[in-house]
Structure 1
Amino acid sequence: MRYIPTSAVAVEKLKQAAKKAKRKYKIPHSDALDRVARGEGYDHWHHVTLCARETERLASQPSLVGECQRAVDAAIAGRSISIVTGPEILADGPLILFSTVDGDAWLLEPNERICTCLAWHGTPRKFGISDAGQQLLIHWGGSYELHGNFFSVSMDDDEIGARMIGGYPLPELRKAIEKSLSFDAALNDIFGGRGGVDLTDEVIADLVRQGWAEKELLAARSDGAIYSPARNSLLYPAFGNVP
């Protein structure tokens, strides 16, 4: 049977309509309930009770729309928060939400690196998310990567577009993404170099300040390696000269 959102108020209205139908057509109460239920698109009255029970269950659980609103509210208030959803919202895997002190809020899918902006510079944005019933539909507005100290996005809309954004809580985001990756996506990060940054002179200089050996980094660059901020390690090509 298909799911129809059914509130307690809707059930009460159907019961009142069934009482009127019982008197009007002089039929048993159970028949009147079934008659009214079918008139509203249900299969029978038991279908109504099942849908009402499911609606109540869903209302008692966190919803993705509710979590998105929580991130938006935090962004507007200038608070930085991060949320990793559980299986009660999406059984296929977690999603990541975060807000920043600058008034931005985002929803991220960690495996496909797709995203949607929930708030931008303190202004809430329309986000295409529907989690009514047993289906979760998300309109993803673009893609993202974490490059060094920058959150890199390529969005469909002209206001944000493609840009590198600094000042986001990237250490926390990297930890959340790494914990949320599927096995296949994690392998792709390791062997495909996803999320890595080129060993430019600036990156090497920064790593040397952190205690890395410059000679090792220069040799790694010659071998085609890149640096993974998420793992604080060097990633070599599949057939490169790994030390």
Structure 2
Amino acid sequence: MKFVPTTVADVEKLKSRAKVLKRKFKIKHREALERAAREASYLHWHHVTLCQQESDRKARHLTVTFLCESMTKDALKGETHYLAFFEPVPSVLLANGKQTGALIASESPDCLILVVEGQEVKWAIEGEGEDTKIAWNATYTLETDCLVATDKVTGAVHRIPIDEGLLNDRIAQSTETYDDKDFDLTFHDPDNPDAQAMFRQIFMGEGLEPIDDANKAILMSKSYSEEMINEAIAAGAQFSRPRQSMIYPIMSSDDIEEEA
């Protein structure tokens, strides 16, 4: 069975969808779960639970493979992330908000293309920790607001729009030394509890808080408008304390039951 990165929040979303299907088609709860799973491209409900268990196992170790799988999923949803790493090699994992994602080496022109404009690309990573072997499938250069990736096999050239300033900042972070007290939460450090918490929030949806008045005040101090915050609350967003920002749930039009 194909592994699909699956968070606890994903499972709850599917359960909610199953309730909609149960009411709409007047079917048993078990059948509704099976339908919800198949709608989301799982083979069956047991496939969902197996993927969630495997995702949880991988998240505990935060392997590069798991993070790339999760970033692929986030990229396909149109999310934006720029995350700096210094192990196994200094690198940056990114999703550009336009259904494209990649892992780029910070000290060499190597690049691992994950997904381009909504189309997944075949990639491979073996091992964990210091034994991680990344099969870089492309090389890259940086131009103004653009990452130019060239496929090593086909020679195809992909011009990937990026936030140039943010990417350069993350590249610099991945190659510099730091003190724990100055730790930037965009790093992936398996030994730092704060970094672990942030990654589990981004990739597993854990530890998020309701956006209450206190958290709303924090967001407004970060230049979020009250209107923007209220719209996010209505959309189901929650507060991430490590990121001092909001994280939205996985949403699709299928999650909304049409009015009769």
Query: Fold conserved (TM > 0.5)?
Result: no
Which structure's relative contact order is higher, taking Cα pairs within 8 Å and 6+ residues apart? 2
TM-score, normalization: structure 2? 0.42
TM-score, normalization: structure 1? 0.44
